[in-house]
Amino acid sequence: MNLKRFQGKQLLAATLIAVLTCGLITLGVSCTPPSPTPNDNEPGNTNDNEPGNTNDNEPGNTNDNEPGNTNDNEPGLVGKFVGADACLPCHSGVHDDWSQTLHAEALETLEASADAEDFCLACHTVGYGEEGGFTSREATPELVGVQCENCHGPAKDHVDNIGDASLRPPTDLGADVCGKCHTGDHHPTFEQWQESGHAAVTEIVALDLIEEGGFYTATCGVCHEGAINFSLAVKGEDVAEDLYVGSTEEDLTPITCVVCHDSHARTGNAYEPDTDRDYQLRFPQVKTPEVTSDAAVVTDVTRYNLCGQCHHSRGREWQTATRAPHHSVQSNFYFGEMAVPEGTDLLVETPTPHFHQTGVPGQCSECHMYRIEFQSDVAPAISGHLFSIDFESCARCHVSAANAETYLEDYKELIQGRLDSIAERLGDPATWEYEPTGGPEDQDSISDEIKQVRFLYHYILSDGSLGTHHPRYADAILEKAEEILDDLGL
């Protein structure tokens, strides 16, 4: 309220009191002057504030906010944080999506936990422990839950100066953004990811990106570099071919959380998720394509589940003379398919599905992302973000983790032995290998039969599981290679 207007009203009130008092005396009614207030304020102000401040705030706070809030923001907010509702007018779609996620309900989740501690509030509210951050539901209801500013940083300067592009909160694709909270014995996602192959850009690809660019940027970068993937596969935007030329490896972004997870929205892509979790996966966790041998079809990413967006064939077949099958054929091997040259017969018929197809409904994640909740300090949570096999995931079918591990070691030894035998029968690699791996410069000097055996040999190696993804298919591939060598008398 304007101070002069307030003082005028006080003067008017005092005059009315004086007139009324005199009138009562004239009528013979006994009266006494108003008792002084117990503080030093003007008549009518009985709180403990300074004169002129008649609200219920502490001295010095003359606005209409609740006690403790002396700034000019809306009630509850006293600093650099503004809350998600301040982002709503311009980012309504993202805001609406976010409001349906468990991030928006993070404080409720904490309040329902028997293990909740005050320090947990830093990861279940906005800005807890920071100036102007969350203090309580009553005082700062605008900062409840995990919101925009948890990831993008304080937004008051941006909201106050929307036209200033330099003040817009940043978009950081780094895993450490999520790692601030998804860490520790209860949520070790970040630590486990750091130990995984996704946490670093493959060295040879990194060198191609920073020294060559061009073809390598989109072709290799989309599955090896997180920022390129985010532009091409998530946002559908082109990237400059020289994006990283002249940069250093430290400038590259590995395959971070946002490559696989949508930070803002529930997607419905999780397979039978626990309770109300959605995991916010960008692509379906489970997807079963129709088996094909068409080289053009096997490269179609829309056929595959989340992992298969990168772990799929690049279309090389046995007539390809330049390189062996790309080290990404896991999805194709798992379903028992192999590209062949157009107009030619299948090298290997797809066998009946193995139990790894029929009895593992969660597909890749069931074996490679074994998860368990926090049990105790000596039995912390397992988030599954190492992406390696945890044999506890095999115990459901293989009696015990130890039994599964022994079985796998024996099986891989058997497959490797057969591969070694095939390589020995082929003879000197200089006569049959691909040129980049020591073969002859004149690839036309290699017969079609040897090229077929070579391709089958490398197809198992390129899958990386030594046949574990589909044991029946691995056996069929090896049998075909051995049959061709038998027919050649090798």
Backbone angles phi, psi at 121, to 5 degrees: -60, -25
Identify the weakest region by mean pLDDT among 34-43, 166-175, 237-246, 408-417: 34-43
3-state helix, strand, coil split of the chain in percent (to 5) is 40, 0, 55
DSSP helix/strand/coil, 144 = strand
Amino acid type, 475: D
* Tokens describing residue 371: 């998860």
* Euclidean distance between CA atoms 313 and 325, whole angstroms: 8
Q: Residue 57: its pLDDT value, please?
A: 53
Q: How far is CA 260 from the centre of its chain?
A: 5
- 3-state SS assignment for residue 379: strand
Distance (Å, whole) CA 395 – CA 417 = 26
Confidence at residue 60, expressed as pLDDT on a 0 to 100 scale: 54
CA atoms of 108 and 333, how far apart (whole Å): 44
**Strongest mean pLDDT among 8-12, 65-69, 348-352:** 348-352
Q: How big is the CA angle at 418 (ends 412 and 422), to the nearest 5 degrees? A: 140
Q: Can you read off the two tokens belonging to residue 8? A: 């005028």
Residue 155, pLDDT score: 97
Read out DSSP for 176-210?
HHHHTTS-TTT-THHHHHHTSGGGS--HHHHHHHH
Closest by CA to 270, choosing from 258, 282, 278, 262, is 278
Q: Please report where in the chains the tokens 């400038």 appear, as a residue.
A: 251
- What does the pLDDT read at residue 68? 52
Tell me the C-alpha distance between 207 and 198, whole Å: 17
**Which tokens hold the place of 485?**
């060598």
- Residue 127 or 64, more confident: 127
| Phi, psi of 287, deg, nearest 5 | -155, 135
| 281: helix, strand or coil | strand
Cβ atoms 298, 332 nearer than 8 A: yes
pLDDT digits (tens, 9 = 90+) for 167-183: 999 999 999 999 999 99
pLDDT of residue 23: 39
Beta bridge partners, 281, equal 261
Instruction: Please state, in angstroms and rounded to a whole number, the distance separating the CA atoms of residues 260 and 175.
Output: 11
Q: Assess contact for 267 and 280: CB atoms under 8 A.
A: yes
For position 372, what pLDDT does the model report?
Answer: 87
- Rounded Cα–Cα distance for residues 272 and 282 (Å): 16
pTM (whole model) above 0.75? yes
Residue 273: strand pairing partners: none
Average pLDDT estimate for 152-156? 97
Which two three-digit tokens encode residue 413?
């030894």
Closest C-alpha among 386, 404, 384 to residue 396: 404
For the cut 80, the answer to whether the pLDDT of residue 228 exceeds it is yes
Please state which of the ranges 61-65, 362-366, 434-438 shows the lowest mean pLDDT: 61-65
Instruction: List pLDDT tens digits, range 280-291.
Output: 999 999 999 999
If you average pLDDT over residues 49-54, what whole number do you get? 52
The secondary structure of 85-140 as a DSSP string is GGTTTT-HHHHHHHTTSTTTTHHHHHHT-TT--GGGGGGTBSSTTSTT----TTT-
3-state secondary structure of 372: strand
Average pLDDT, the chain: 88
- Which residues fall within 8 angstroms of residue 66, CB to CB, at 6 or more apart? 57, 75, 76, 139
Using alpha carbons, select from 47, 50, 187 the residue that is nearest to residue 115.
Answer: 187
The pair of structure tokens assigned to 369 is 């992302």
pLDDT at 275: 78
Judge whether 395 and 384 are in contact, CB under 8 Å.
Answer: no
Give 73's pLDDT tier (boundaries 50, 70, 90): very low
